[in-house]
A = this chain, B = another copy of it.
Amino acid sequence: MSIQIAEQPKITMDVFEQWESEVRSYCRSFPTVFSRAKNARMWDTAGNEYIDFFAGAGSLNYGHNNDKIKQKLVEYILEDGVTHSLDMATVAKGRLLESFVHHILKPRNMNYKVMFPGPTGTNSVESALKLARKITGRETVISFTNGFHGMTLGSLAVTGNKFKRQGAGVPLHHTVSMPFCKYHGDEADTIAYIEKYLEDSGSGLSLPAAMIIETVQGEGGVNVASDSWLRKLSELCKRFEILLIVDDIQVGCGRTGTFFSFEKAGIEPDIICLSKSIGGYGLPLALTLFKPELDIWEPGEHNGTFRGNNLGFVAATEAINYWKDSEFEQSIQHKGQWIEETMQQIKDAYPQIEMEVRGRGMMRGIAFTEAEWAEKLCRTCFENGLIMETAGTDSEVAKVMPALTIEAELLQNGLNILKDCARQLFTKAQ
Contact = CB atoms under 8 A, between A and B. Distances in A.
Copy total for this chain: 4
Interface string A283-314: 11000101000011111111111100101000
A5 B306 contact: no
B284 A306 contact: yes
A225 interface: no
A171 B174 contact: yes
Nearest to A309: B284
Contacts of A80: 1, 36-38, 64-65, 70
Contacts of A188: 188
Contacts of A26: 86-88
B2 A45 contact: no
Interface string A1-43: 1101100100111011001111111111011111111100010
Contacts of A151: 118, 123, 126, 302-304
A288 B19 CA distance: 12
A74 B78 contact: yes
Contacts of A88: 26-27, 30, 34
A284 B94 contact: no
Contact of A115 (B23, B113, B183, B283): B23
A19 B101 contact: yes
Given A86-B26, A90-B34, A114 B75 contact: no
A248 to B, nearest CB: 14
Nearest to A177: B204
Nearest to A314: B5
A129 to B, nearest CB: 7
Interface in A38-83: 38, 42, 45, 56-60, 64-65, 70, 73-83
A85 B281 CA distance: 11
A64 B82 contact: yes
Interface in A136-183: 139-140, 143-147, 150-155, 157, 159-171, 173-177, 179, 183
A21 B282 contact: no
A11 B154 CA distance: 35
Given A33-B91, A91-B35, A282-B83, A119 B306 contact: yes
A167 B301 contact: yes
Contacts of A24: 87, 116, 299
Contact of A15 (B33, B60, B98, B153): B98
Given A94-B15, A97-B16, A82 B42 contact: yes
The 10 closest A-B CB pairs, nearest first, are: A133-B169, A84-B282, A177-B204, A11-B94, A202-B393, A152-B152, A153-B154, A23-B297, A25-B300, A21-B115
20 contacts: A2-B75, A5-B91, A15-B89, A15-B98, A16-B93, A23-B303, A38-B80, A45-B91, A56-B305, A59-B84, A121-B305, A147-B204, A167-B301, A176-B176, A184-B192, A202-B221, A202-B392, A283-B306, A284-B284, A284-B309
